[in-house]
Amino acid sequence: MNLLFALVALPLLFMLASLVAGRHGPRLIWLSAPLMTGLAVWLAIAVHTAPEGGALGGWPVPLGIMLEADGLAAALMLASAITAAITGLFALGSYGTTRAETTRSYTFWPLFYGLWAAVNAVLVSRDLFNLYVAIELLSICAVALAAFGSRKAAMDYLMIALAGSLAYLLGVVLIFAAVGTLDLSLIAERAPEARTSILIGAALISAGLIAKTALFPLHGWLPPAHGAAPPAVSALLSALVVKASFVILLRVWFEALPGLTEQAIITGFGVLGAAAILYGSALALRQEGLKALIAYSTVAQLGYLFLVFPLAGGGEAITLWAAGAWGAMGFHASAHMLAKAGLFLAAGLMIHASGNGRMDGLTGLARAMPVTTFAFALCAVSLMGLPPSGGFMAKYLMLIASLASGQWPYALVIIAGGLMAAAYLFRPLARMFAGTETPAITPLAHGWLPLAPLALAIAAMALGLLSAAPYELMVSGLPEAGEAGLEEVEP
């Protein structure tokens, strides 16, 4: 319990500290990175044996606030801690103390810690209003960080985020009016009494969260915002921010409303996810800018997460792990966090070094920046879903789940998505290996910066090679609906 509280409160403390510390603020990352990662590891080990949770201040629900970490929350908490810690260290290159103090080097750090706290809060909250507060804090920090790149893209992002928040809030009000509680487990108990109004509320909540997650067709704001931002910011936005709103969506449907879900809703999520995979990949194939390509890849990769709705336990459990869709989703979310952040960091270094963000600017960089290129390649392998990577385990489990449950169209989409990912990611990679000259590059701020994407890439690989423990963690304490499928659970 105190551990969960610490994981949410400590980043907030670091946020305040970084405001107070002024030009020494950036140095705090040397403390916060190992501390937060260590706590997340501790949580993962603790949750592995029993779910962690309890009421804040000892006040029970409905008076107090419940914090709770199941296996998925602990796993994502750890993956996001690794991602945020490494991205934070990487950001020292742009917003560190070695450079003259700027507005940005001052504002980056509080926003960074605010975002981290919000992500952790989303993961452990079990109450629609808490989730609202957390997702609002997240949106505000994310929009402000996105403004580091393009003001216009950030404004669009802000509009979408606000509209999403309004829809979410409206949905929460409807549900509260219907059942008189915001706690997820209490909603699950009382939901059958007011089925219609709850479904309308849930639809509003879903619409808001889909906009924030940038699921096709509400993805339009994401590529400009993620593509234009500085590398460290793009990494945080693509890796963490969009996952948080997706996790809330999971909580709402799998924990608060299992059994209320119609086949149409499940299929709807699945079809949108599949469309996102194909459409995002097709657009990624056509990009000439490196970061725009990676941003469109995010649109495609987010689609896979939504396949958990139709796939989770959708069929008779023929094999031991036919109900592995839940684990697949956890693997995909974690692997995408690590690999996409690594990809953005590596791309940022390459664009800085070559002074050109377009595809042809990459020519020959494999010779000038071997470590960065290698990190880029490893992250790309995970996104393509090729072994040995976390991305592969995710795709393998998803494929098994879709075929074991007889939903083979999803399997075709997953395989097509993997091939398209290979096609769009090998384009920049081939540029890096092409040519015979070694291009002259602008030196990096620190020689060790390429190690940041490399560390993320290795983490994404390790997730695939040593997958047994993460898998057990992700499926431990999973909601009943995650195992049995949304439709089969009677409330």
Partner 1 sequence: MNTAILIPVLLVLAPLIPAVVSAFLSGHAGWRNGVNIGFAALKLALVTYALAGVAAGAEYEWRIAFVPGLDLVLRLDALALLFVTLSAVLWVATTLYAIAYLKGTPHQARFFAFFNLCVVAASGIAMSGSLITFFVFYEILTLATWPLVVHTGSAKAMAAGRTYLAYTLAGSAALLAGIVWLESGSGPVEFADGADLSGFSTLSASVIFALLIGGLGAKTALIPLHPWLPAAMAAPAPVSALLHAVAVVKAGAFGVVRVIYDVYGIETVAALGLGIPLAALASATIIYGSLQALCQSDIKKRLAYSTVSQVSYIVLGASLAGPFAVIGGLVHLVHQGLMKITLFFGAGVLAERAGITGIAQMDGIGRRMPITMAAFSVAALGMIGVPPVAGFVSKWYLALGGYQSGASWVVGVLIASSLLNAAYFLPMLYRAWLKPSADTLPSRETLASTRTWLLILPGAFTAMAALGAGLFAGFELSPLGWATLIVERIYLP
What are the DSSP calls for 453-480, one per residue?
HHHHHHHHHHHHHT-HHHHHHHHTT--H
Please give the C-alpha separations between residue 255 and each of 37, 236, 314, in angstroms, as whole numbers. Answer: 27, 27, 17
Q: Which stretch binds partner 1 (CB under 8 A): 25-33, 181-189, 278-286, 384-392?
A: 384-392
Residue-wise burial string across 121-139, b where 16 or more C-beta atoms lie within 10 A, e elsewhere = bbbbbbbbebbbebbbbbb
Size of the site for partner 1 (CB under 8 A): 40
Q: CA angle, 460 as apex, 251 and 34 as ends, to 5°?
A: 80
**Residues from 411 through 430 that contact partner 1 (CB under 8 A):** 411, 415, 418-419, 422, 426, 430
In the complex, least distance from residue 470 CB atom to partner 1, rounded to whole angstroms: 9
Member of 281, 334, 471, 481 binding partner 1 (CB under 8 A): 471
Q: 400, 454, 456, 459: which one contacts partner 1 (CB under 8 A)?
A: 400
Residue 216 · residue 245 · CB < 8 Å: no
Cβ at position 86, least distance to partner 1 in Å: 21
Stretch that binds partner 1, among 225-233, 254-262, 303-311, 397-405 (CB under 8 A): 397-405
Binding residues for partner 1 restricted to 311-330, rule: CB under 8 A: 318-322, 324, 327
* 140 or 328: CB nearest partner 1: 328
When the beta carbons of 8 and 329 are compared against partner 1, the nearer one is: 329
Which CB sits closer to partner 1, 67 or 422? 422
Question: Which span sits near partner 1 by CB under 8 A: 26-34, 110-118, 129-137, 396-404?
Answer: 396-404
Residue ranges in 148-241 assigned as alpha helix (H): 151-179, 184-190, 195-213, 222-228, 231-236
Q: Which of 244, 399, 449, 459 binds partner 1 (CB under 8 A)?
A: 399
Least gap, CB of 464 to partner 1 (angstroms): 8
Look-up of token digits 């670091």: 14
Q: Site residues for partner 1, window 57-86 (CB under 8 A)?
A: none
SS3 67: strand
The tokens 């595809």 sit on which residue?
359
The Cα–Cα gap between 372 and 449 comes to: 9
Mask of contacts with partner 1, 428-457, x by CB under 8 A?
A: --x--xxxx-x-------------------
Which residues from 271-290 bind partner 1, rule CB under 8 A?
Answer: none
Which of residues 62 and 370 has its CB atom nearest to partner 1 in the complex? 370
Nearer Cβ to partner 1 (184/378):
378
**9 vs 11: CA distance, rounded Å:** 6
| CB-neighbour burial class of residue 395 (10 A; exposed 0-12, middle 13-18, buried 19+) | buried
User: Containing H/E element for 387?
Assistant: none
Nearer to partner 1, 1 or 386 (CB): 386
Which residue's CB is nearer to partner 1, number 406 or number 443? 406
Phi, psi of 66 (to 5 degrees): -90, 135
The C-alpha atoms of residue 252 and residue 249 are separated, in whole angstroms, by 5
Closest distance of CB 332 from partner 1, Å: 14
Stretch 342-381: interaction string toward partner 1, x if CB under 8 A? ----------------------x-xx--x---x------x
**Residue 203 identity:** A
CA 482 vs. chain centroid, Å, equals 19
Joined tokens for residue 107? 């504002």
If the CB atoms of residues 230 and 324 are measured against partner 1, the closer one turns out to be: 324
Dihedral class, residue 64 (left if φ above 0, else alpha if ψ from -120 to 50, else beta): beta
Q: What residues line the site for partner 1 (CB under 8 A)? A: 318-322, 324, 327, 364, 366-367, 370, 374, 381, 386-388, 392-393, 396-397, 399-400, 403-404, 411, 415, 418-419, 422, 426, 430, 433-436, 438, 467-468, 471-472
